[in-house]
Each structure stands twice: as structure tokens, then as C-alpha cells.
Structure 1
Amino acid sequence: MSVWWSLQLRREAASVPLARRLLLGSMEAAGVDADISHEMSVALSEACSNAVRHGSGQSDVYRVTASVHGDVCRIEVTDCGPGFPGGAVVPRSEPFDLQPGGRGLRLIEALSDAVTFDNQPESGGAVVTFDKTLRWREDALLQVS
């Protein structure tokens, strides 16, 4: 079974907890393990916060899309800002830097099974995509056998 939803949110701080609560509610209703849901919601909060902070440009909105295919949840956060410098993706192999800024990207990496930091080819806005393998509660509605 596959499920997906997409939101278009205003680039305002209040949209971050809204996106997080919607994800947590969806994961709870589907029967996803609470620890996995929490990790995904923290990663989503970081990605949304970056979109709100850095997504200035052509639009005052950003988009969150979440999908579940089998036992993998993919979340994508897209903004219309300047994107990552030079389309650069910060690889995991670089040391964790505790300088101000950039820690949210490291947190997303740490909480995800796979992550991509990219730019939209047409507009240059940032695209943060992360995947997480789901664990299910015994009463899960979408549990994969």
C-alpha cells in the first residue's frame, strides 16, 4: 500500500509546528512506532525551519510532501529561496561542526536512513529529501507484512 500527502505552507515560524503535528498525527493513525515518528518529526521540523529561514525569493510559501511506500517513509521539503550554494550537498563524511548554522542539516542526517540536499533545477530553491524505514505497532493500519 502507498499513501502520500502534500502541504503548501506559508514561510512563517507558526507553520513549523503545524507540519510537525500533521506528520505525527498521520504516523500515529497509521500505526508507526512512536520513536520512529518522533525522529521523523524532529527531522521535518529542522527542514521546515530551514525553509522558513532561508527560503526567501520568488514565493512566501514552501511545500512539504510525505509518502509511505512499503515500509519506507520519504519526506521532501522544497522552498523557493536561493538554494544550497553551488548546489552543494554536505556529505556525511565531513566532521560535525558546532559553529552557528548548519546543525539542522546534520540532525536531519543523523535521524534519517538516507538524505539528499539539492536544488530545484528550474528555480534553484532548496530541496531536502529524507527517508526513514518504519517500524510498526501491532495494531498498525498500514503495516507491511
Structure 2
Amino acid sequence: MSIWWSLHLRREAASVPLARRLLLGTMETAGVDPDISYDLSVALTEACANAVEHGGDRDTGEASEAYRVTAYLDGEKCRIEVADSGPGFPTRRGPLRGGPTALPGPGAESGRGLCLIEQLADHVHVRNRPGRGAVVSFDKVLKWRKGALLDVS
């Protein structure tokens, strides 16, 4: 059995805990290990916060006022994707693959979210879609509680 869901959310701060609670509830019901659930929920929170803060032009009032969260729990892996309609990410200071992203300086007010996602997930992919925003996707191998609904072991 697998579970997937997709949310279309307004770019408002209140949408971030909503997405996090839905993910945590889904994973708890499915029987995912609480430590794995927590890591993924923090990573999701960071990705959603990026979409809310940077995901569009608030002056347009069009599609840039929303973002999408999709989660897939399938067997041994959970994959989460957060897509916005903003300008995309600026040029990165470090690679997502082959090592962690460089941390921003101590005085920086932002820039730590992607670094945190990279530490919490097994694989992270950031994709810019010119004129259509950015997509942050990440996955993690799941561990299951005894008697879990989706346990594949």
C-alpha cells in the first residue's frame, strides 16, 4: 500500500504548520518511526517557509500567491516536493550533491533552510523553472514501528 497527497496552499505563514501537521498525521497513521517523521516534518517546514517567503511576487495577486506540496509514502521511501511560482533560487554557493551547501555568514538573516533540508533528508534536488518558480524535492528512507500499516519489511 502507498499513500500520496497534494495540497495547494496560499503563501501565508499559517499554511506552513498545516502542511507539517498533515504530514505528521499521515506518517503516524501509517506507522513511520517518530524520529524519521520528525526529520521529514522539519525539512518540509523549511521548504514551505521558503515558498511562503520567496515563492512569488505579492504584487501580482495571481498564481504567485500559492504553492503546492506533494508527499508520497511508498514502501520504503517518502518523497516530498514543494513547488512555488516565484523567481527561483539564486546561484548556489555550494553543491546539493557531493557535499553540503555552504552556510551563510553569521550575520545573514536567511539561507539556512536548504542546508537544514540537506542534513535531514537522504536526497535533495532543487530545480529552477524559468518563469514558473522553483521546486524543492527531497526523500528519506523510512523506518517503521512494529505492526505499521505500510511496513514493507
**What TM-score does the superposition give when structure 1 sets the normalisation length?**
0.91
Structure 1 distance, partners of 2:55, 2:102, is 26
What is residue 65 of structure 1 aligned with on the other side? Answer: 70
Structure 1 distance, partners of 2:143, 2:114, is 24
What is residue 15 of structure 2 aligned with on the other side? Answer: 15
Structure 1 distance, partners of 2:135, 2:125, is 8
Displacement of 1:85 = 2.5
| Structure 1 position 105 matched with structure 2 position 114 | yes
The answer to whether the 8 A contact 2:94-2:102 is kept is: no
Structure 2 distance, partners of 1:63, 1:89, is 26
Which whole-Å deviations, capped at 9, do the CAs of 1:56-83 have from their partners, x for residues lacking one?
1352110000002221100000000001
The letter of the residue matching 1:139 is G
Displacement of 1:5 = 0.5
What is residue 95 of structure 1 aligned with on the other side? Answer: 102
Structure 2 distance, partners of 1:89, 1:11, is 26
What is residue 134 of structure 2 aligned with on the other side? Answer: 126
The letter of the residue matching 1:138 is K
The answer to whether the 8 A contact 1:64-1:75 is kept is: yes
RMSD: 1.7
Equivalent of residue 81 in structure 2, options 63, 76, 79: 76
Structure 1 distance, partners of 2:4, 2:93, is 26
The answer to whether the 8 A contact 1:51-1:77 is kept is: yes
**What TM-score does the superposition give when structure 2 sets the normalisation length?**
0.86
Percent identity between matched residues is: 62
Structure 2 distance, partners of 1:104, 1:62, is 17
Aligned length: 143
Structure 2 distance, partners of 1:140, 1:9, is 29
Displacement of 1:95 = 3.3
The letter of the residue matching 1:12 is E
Which runs of no fewer than 5 residues in structure 2 stay unpaired?
none
The letter of the residue matching 2:95 is P
